[in-house]
Each structure stands twice: as C-alpha cells, then as structure tokens.
Amino acid sequence: MTKPRKYELVYVLSPEVSEDGVTELHKQVEAIVARFEGQIERTDNWGRRKLAYEIGRHKEATYVLEVIDGSGDLMKEIERRLKVNEQVLRYLVVRVDEELKAADRAKARRQAETDRRGARRRTPDAQSAESAASADAGEQVEE
Amino acid sequence: MSEERRSSQGRSQGRGGNRQSSERGGGGRRGLFRRRKLCKFCVEKIDYIDYKDVRMLTPFVPDRGKILPRRISGVCATHQRQLQSAIKRARQIALVPYVTD
C-alpha cells in the first residue's frame, strides 16, 4: 500500500453552531477517517475568533484544526461532506508531509553548516564553497 | 560585518556571496548609509512558515491587504515563496484579509 500522507484540515464553522454541534461534526470526521483506515493525529479547537473578512453576514467563527494521516480518497470524502454541510463556512485541506520534511531537511542542513563553520573558521575558501553548495541545495527542495 | 560591501552595487568581489540571498538592493549609489535589510526568517531560523500562525504573517500583510514585496521587507527568495503560499492559504480560511479598505 502507498504510505499514508499527512494532511491538515481546518474548518470554519458558523458562530451559531453550539459546542455540541462542533463535537458532533468532529465525530463525523472521525467516523470517515476510521472508515478509510486513517488516523487523527491531533485535534485543536481554536474556539471563536474574528474573521479577517465577512463571510456571508458573519464577523466571527469557530475554527477547528485536525491533523490527519490518511489517503487522498479519505480527504476527498471529507471534503465532499464539508462542502455539503451548511454550518461549514470555509474549510481548507493542506497536505503537509512533504513540506514538513523539507523543513526538517533545511534545519538539518543549517545545523550541519554551523557545525562545520565552527570546525574551520579560519578557511574562507572552504567557507564560500560551502555556502555556494548550500545555496544550490536550497534551490532543489523537491524530493 | 556586511557593511563592507555597501559601495559596489550588489555584486562584490572577494568573499561575497555567502550571507544567504537575503541581501539585495537597498544600498546602491543613492542612500549611502541605508541599512542592509535582512531576511527575518533566516535570522530567526524559521524553517517552516505556518499559514496558521497569524502573528507571523500579519507584518507582511500591510493595511491594504496586499503581500509586502520583498524589495521592501528584505525577505529572501526562498522564504518569500513560502510566505506567499502561507498567506494565500490563510486568506482562504479568513485568517488574513484579501483586501481591506
């Protein structure tokens, strides 16, 4: 099987939705995730916040973030369900595994560089070669 | 330390080239003592610009709601690219405005 992907799902609920309504929707998401054999890594309820712009006539809304491991089909299904739901003002699905990997790599690279720089501080030649190399590496973040 | 290459425009000989791509413009011939702008994300060693972190994004979305160009903010190309997509994502879920007036 293909290896699971990591997604972040944020949905924005109309402020009229009660606490119960929020947990209800979360349960629905959970059920879909379970059905597709995915996993919810964490759920984060941001509570009610002001919107940057009005949506419909709403000025504030409830935000919920879910981090989900699963397949594309799973997210497709969730999207379909959220699209239909009237309580959901907005939702956003972002695939994050590759971005996080790239970020980790950038971190590791910088760490390595600072180590090296500490090791041979007195050799400017090596240093500029190094930074040229890292600039190259910075270009090709893919894979 | 980067002050030494203010006179020549952008391109300098010697041990230039490091200090990431964050240095750009600013100097030149006109404003002789303009401070070189540094990429905030490089300086603070931020690897991943999170679209959920509104506090990180707002300085780059001025009143008008547009994304601050990097010629002003001094953000390096890599980070500007990440910043751009982060802001665009944040806009979709109304964390950051599309327009304000």
Tell whether the model's pLDDT for residue A4 goes beyond 60: yes
Tell whether the model's pLDDT for residue B18 goes beyond 50: no
What pLDDT is stored for residue B19 in this prediction?
45
The pTM of this model reads 0.70
Give the model's confidence band at B9: pLDDT under 50 very low, under 70 low, under 90 confident, else very high. very low
Residue given tokens 């119960």 in the structure block? A20
- Gap between the Cα atoms of B65 and B62, Å rounded: 6
DSSP letter at B1 equals -
Q: What is the H or E stretch that residue A69 is in?
A: strand A58-70
What pLDDT is stored for residue A123 in this prediction?
60
Give chain A's contact residues with B (Cβ, < 8 Å).
8, 10, 12, 51-53, 55, 61, 63, 65, 89-92, 94, 99-100, 102-104, 106-107, 110, 124, 127-128, 131-132, 135, 138
What number is the average pLDDT over the span A80-107? 91
Mean of pLDDT over chain A: 84
Closest CA to B4 of A129, B31, A135, B15: B15
- Nearest-10 Cα torsion for A131, A135, A137, A138: 130
Q: Enumerate the residues of chain A whose CB falls inside 8 A of the CB of residue B100.
A: 53
Residue given tokens 């929020």 in the structure block? A22
End-to-end CA distance of chain B: 41
Instruction: Decide the pairing of beta strands A88-95 and A5-13.
Output: antiparallel
What number is the average pLDDT over the span A66-92? 92
Give the model's confidence band at A118: pLDDT under 50 very low, under 70 low, under 90 confident, else very high. confident
Which segment of A13-22, A70-79, A116-125, B14-23 scores lowest on mean pLDDT? B14-23
What number is the average pLDDT over the span A1-5? 75
| A100:B48 CB<8 A | yes
Closest CA to B53 of A61, A10, A17, A59: A10
Q: What is the largest CA-CA distance in chain B?
A: 48
Q: Is-contact A95 A79, C-beta < 8 A?
A: no
- Gap between the Cα atoms of A63 and A46, Å rounded: 5
pLDDT: is B26 or A41 the higher one? A41
pLDDT: is B88 or A120 the higher one? B88
Tell whether the model's pLDDT for residue B24 goes beyond 80: no
- Nearest-10 Cα torsion for A78, A79, A83, A84: -30
Q: Is-contact B63 B89, C-beta < 8 A?
A: no
Q: Enumerate the residues of chain A whose CB falls inside 8 A of the CB of residue B98.
A: 53
Tell whether the model's pLDDT for residue B5 goes beyond 70: no
- Gap between the Cα atoms of B83 and A124, Å rounded: 32
Helix (H, G, I), strand (E, B) or coil at A46: strand
Instruction: Decide the pairing of beta strands A58-70 and A5-13.
Output: antiparallel
Tell whether the model's pLDDT for residue A86 goes beyond 70: yes
What pLDDT is stored for residue A138 in this prediction?
47
pLDDT: is B22 or B98 the higher one? B98
For B28-76, write each residue's pLDDT tens digit. 455 566 667 788 898 888 888 999 999 999 999 998 999 999 999 999 9
